[in-house]
A and B are shown apart, each in its own frame.
Chain A
Amino acid sequence: MFVEVRPTKKLRGAKALNLTACLSPILDALTEDSLDLSRLRLVCDWVQYKNNFRDVVDVRPILSPPPRNGQPVEPVEDKLEIAIDLRRCADADLADVVRDLLARRVEPNGLERVYLENWTKATTSRIWDFNSLYWRYLGVWEKATGRLYEQALPGGESDARNIAGVHELINEMLTVWDDLAARNALPDQLYVIELGVGNGNQAKTWLDEFVKLDAEHGTEYYRRLHYMMCDYSEHVLALARENVADHAAHVSSFALDATTPMTALGFLRYKVFLVYISNVYDNLPTEDVAQINGHTYRAEIRAYLPKAEAVRIAAEFGIESPQLVGAIDKLLSLGPELLVDALSAYFPDAARAAAFWMATWDALKLEERYVPMTGLDLYEIAPGVNGEMLRPLLERHGDVRMQVSNGAIASFVDTLPLLHPYGRLQCHDIFVTDPHQYRTGFLGPGKYDGSIVNWVNGPLLQHIGRRKGFDVSFAPFAHRTGTNIVTLTAQVRD
C-alpha cells in the first residue's frame, strides 16, 4: 500500500494539520474491507479552491492495459486510488465515508450519481462546455451575480493594467526596433497581438502608454503600429473596442479560440513583435497524466451531479428528474437566453435560466479513473505535439501526477510561428515552474466564478518551447506583491 501526502507544508507550524487524526479512521476502514491493500494508493491533497469538482473522498480505479495483440477489450481494474481532501477531513466522518464508498462502488448505481457524460478525455468533458458557456454568456452571468468578471480576479483587477510592467515592455521593444531600423531591417508594419483581450483595459493602457513613450522616443513608430485584440468572447471584445476607441485606426479585433490563433492570424507568420497573453492559459482545456509504478496513465473523467443535488435542483426548477440531464444539455448547447424559448415551462426568463446554470455548475463534480497509455508517441498533447514531449518530465520525476495543459500548449505552439525573429511572447498566469510543485500542492481544477482554473504546466511549456527554438523563462510578476502570477517570456534562441 502506498500513501502520498502532498501538502507537507501543512504538517508543521501553529495551525499544523493533524494528519494522524485524518488518516487513522481511513486506515481503520480500509483494513475492515476485503480490498487487496497491496494494490491500493492513498493520496492526500489540500484542495484550496472552495468551489471545486471533488468530494472529500474520491475513489479512482487504475485500469490495466489491454493485451497487445488481442481484440480491443474493456480495460479492467488493476489497482485503486483513494483521494482525500485534507482541507475538509474535519468536516466528515471519514471512516464512514470510506466504508460507504467502497461498499457502494461495487453495486450498480450504488454511488447515486446523475452522470452528464460517459467516461471521456478530460479535455472533451462537458465541464469545458460550462467553461465555454461562461465566456460566451459572460454578460448574463455578470448580471445574475451582480459582479463584473474582473472583480472575481485575485485583487479585483487584472495584472495586465500595471503601468510599470507596460513601460518596461514597450521600452524594450523600442530598443529592438531602433536596432532593426539601424540595419534597415525594420518592417513597415509593426504588429502587436493580445490574446484574451478581456474588456480592453490592458489594450487601452498599453496603447496610451505607447503613444507617450513613442513621442518621447521621437521615432513615430505609432504610425506603423497595429494592435490586434483577440478574444473568445464577443461580449468582452465589444467592450474592448469601446475602450480603445481613441486608437481605432491602429486596432483590429478578432473573435477567436486562443488554442488556434493561426486560423485567424496566419497572415502574420513571423511578423509579430509582441504577443501578450494574460490569464488565458489557466482557463483552457487540460487533462492530467500520472506516472504510477513506472507506468503512464491518463486521467479520464466523468461529470456528475450527486443524486441529492440533482433532486434538489430539479425540484427547485420544477423539472421532472428524468428530464434534468436533457435540460442541462440544452443549456450547454443553446445558452441561457435561448433556453427560455426552448424550455419556457421551467425557465420563464433569462434570470431563471441563469439561476439554473449557476445551481448546476455549483453542484457539478468529477469522477476519475486512470487509463494506461500504450505509448507516449501515440498520445496527442495538442495538434502537432505528441506525448514524447512529456518524457523528460515523467522520467526525471518518478511517480507524479501533473496537468498536461493541453489547451495552453496548443495555444503556445500555434502562437510561436507568429513571432518575428526578434519578437517576444509574454504571458502572465499561474504557472507551475518546478515539477516538485506537483508533489506538494493541489494545482487544479478549481471553479473560478463560472469558469475552470488549472495551474499551467510551465516546465512542459518550457521544454516544448525549447524544442521549437525558443528560450522560455519564468519570473515572479514584478509589479505587484503577494500574487501567484508568474511572467513567462519566450524569445527565439541562438
Chain B
Amino acid sequence: MTGAIARSREPATLLLPTTVVGSYSVPEWLERLKTDFYLHRISPAHLDEIHDVAIKAAIKDQEQAGIDVVSDGELRRDNDIDYLLARIPGVSITEATKSYYYDYFEAEVREPLSTGETSALGLVKDFLFTHGQTDSPIKFSFTGPFSLSRRIHNSAYDDRADLIRSLAHALNAEARELVAAGATRLQIDEPFLAGYPGEVGLAIEAINIVTKDVRADWALHVCYGNRYARPSWEGHYDFLFPAVLDADVGTLVLEFARKGYGDLSLFKRYPWDRRLGLGVIDVKSEEVETADLVASRIRKALDVLSPDQLVVNPDCGLRHLPAYVARAKLKAMVAGAAAVREELSSS
C-alpha cells in the first residue's frame, strides 16, 4: 500500500508541468546578512524577517516566470545540510558559529538518535509560511538521510547504515507532519549519493523509510553536486539502476542539461513507469538557454518516455545563479515546455 501511495501520479494533471528543484537565487546582500547573523551583527528576529521577504520575492519570481509548481527557494537554509542537521535531536554541532554562512557545520552523533514519532525539525512552519504566500502548488524539499549522514562524525553507531536509518525515521516523522499540514508534494534530495555509487541500495532503503505511510506525491532528486556551483563528482546515472526501481517515489529528478542526455537510455533499459523530472537548465552556467534549446531537450526525453511521464525542471537548485539569470532561465524553461506541449496537443 505504501508504495502505491508514494508512486501515485496524481495530482500532476497538466502535461509537462514545470517546477524548480528547490533552492532559488541567493542575492549577494542576503549572503552578507546571513553571514552577519553568525558574526552577531543582526538578531535572529531580523534574519527571520529578511528570510520572509526574500521568500516572498522568490515565489513571486517563479510565478511571474510561469512555473507551475513553486518552492520557497530554500532561502532560510544556509546550505543543503545544516538547517536540518542542526535541528535533529541528538546531532551535536561542535561549533555553532561560522565566518561564512554557506560553510558546513561540523556535526557529530555521539549517542544513537531517538527515533520517536514526533517531528522536531520545524519544517511545518516553513511550509505554512510558503503556503500562505501563493495559490500555486508547492513542492517542499529536504535533504535525504544518506546525504545528511555524510556530514556527520559518527561515534554512536557501529554500523553507519543504522545512523542513516535513524535519520530516515526522523525525516519520516517530519514528512508526516508536513502532509498533515497540507503539503502534497515532497522531495528528497540526495546530493552526495553520486559520490558513493556502491551505497545506492542502502540509500534507497533509507528513502523508503522516509516515505513510509506518508500520503504525498514524492520525488527523489539525485545530482552530481552543486556545492559552490561546481560538480562534486563525475559519472553516469547507471549506478542508480536497478536499485532506484525499488524507491517509493513517483518522480525521479535528475541532472541532464550540463552532462548531456546520454543517460536517458537507462529509461529504455529499465522499466521505469513513473515520472522523470527532466533537467533542462544548466544551473552551473550563467548562459541562458533559449526556449528552443529547452524544447529540443524535452523532445529527446520524449523519445524514451511518454509525455505524461515528464516533469520539466532545472538540473538542480538555482541558488548560485544571479537572480536575473535565474528568472531568464525559468522563463526560457516555461516557454520551451509550452512549445512542446503545444506540439503534443496539436499532433
Residues of A within 8 A of B (CB): 185, 187, 270, 377, 386, 388, 391-392, 417, 421, 466-470, 492, 494
Contact A421 B235 (CB under 8 A): no
Is B227 a contact of A494 with CB atoms below 8 Å?
A: yes
Interface: B232 (CB within 8 A): yes
Q: A469 and B234 in contact (CB under 8 A), knowing A377-B28, A494-B104? A: no
A295–B221 Cα gap in the complex (Å)?
A: 47
**Shortest Cβ gap from A345 to chain B (Å):** 53
Contact of A421 (CB < 8 Å), options: B28, B229, B232: B232
Contact A270 B234 (CB under 8 A): yes
Instruction: Tell me whether B100 is interfacial, beta carbon within 8 Å.
Output: yes
Min CB–CB distance A313 → chain B (angstroms): 48
| A–B pairs, 13, beta carbons within 8 Å | A185-B233, A185-B234, A270-B234, A377-B28, A392-B99, A417-B230, A468-B230, A469-B227, A469-B229, A469-B230, A470-B228, A494-B104, A494-B232
Which residues of chain B have C-beta atoms less than 8 A from A467's C-beta?
100, 102, 228
Q: How many Å lie between the Cα of A391 and that of B235 in the bound state?
A: 38
In the complex, B182 has a CB within 8 A of chain A:
no
**Which of A185, A388, A421, A466 interacts with B230 by CB under 8 Å?**
A421
How many interface contacts (CB-CB < 8 Å) are there between A and B? 36
CB-nearest residue of chain B to A470: B228
Whether the Cβ atoms of A468 and B228 lie closer than 8 Å is yes
Residue contact B100 to A270, C-beta cutoff 8 Å = no
Interface size on B, residues (CB 8 A): 16
- Cα A411 to Cα B86 in complex, Å, equals 37
User: Which residues of B lie under 8 Å from residue A492 when comparing CB positions?
Assistant: 230, 232
Measured CB to CB, the nearest residue on chain B to A377 is B28
CB-CB < 8 A to B233: which residues of A?
185, 421
C-alpha gap A466/B229 in the complex (Å)? 13
In the complex, whether B231 has a CB less than 8 A from a CB of chain A is yes
Measured in the bound complex, the distance between the Cα atoms of B102 and A193 in whole Å is 30
Which residues from chain B sit less than 8 Å from chain A, CB to CB? 28-29, 32, 99-100, 102, 104, 227-235
CB-nearest residue of chain B relative to A184?
A: B235
Residues in A neighbouring B230, C-beta threshold 8 A: 270, 417, 421, 468-469, 492
CB distance from A231 to the nearest CB of B (A): 27
In the complex, how many angstroms separate the beta carbon of B190 from the nearest chain A beta carbon? 16
Pick the residue among A388, A392, A421 that contacts B234 (CB under 8 A).
A421
**Bound Cα distance A439, B28 (Å):** 30
A470 to B32, CA, bound (A): 19
Point out the residues of chain B lying under 8 angstroms from A388, CB to CB.
Answer: 28, 32
How far apart are the CA atoms of A414 and B233 in the complex, in Å?
20
The distance from the CB of A469 to the nearest CB of chain B, in whole angstroms, is 3
- Known contacts A270-B234, A421-B234, A494-B104: does B228 contact A469 (CB below 8 Å)? yes
Cα distance A287–B233 in the bound complex, in angstroms: 37
Distance in angstroms between the alpha carbons of A111 and B256 in the assembled complex:
65
Chain B nearest CB, measured from A96 CB (Å): 50
Tell me the complex Cα distance, A466–B29, Å.
18
List 19 additional A-B contacts (Cβ < 8 Å) besides A421-B232, A492-B230. A187-B234, A270-B234, A377-B28, A386-B28, A388-B28, A388-B32, A391-B32, A392-B99, A417-B230, A421-B230, A421-B231, A466-B100, A467-B102, A468-B228, A468-B230, A469-B227, A469-B229, A469-B230, A470-B228
From A468, which residue of chain B is reached at the shortest CB distance?
Answer: B228
List B contacts of A187 (CB < 8 A): 234
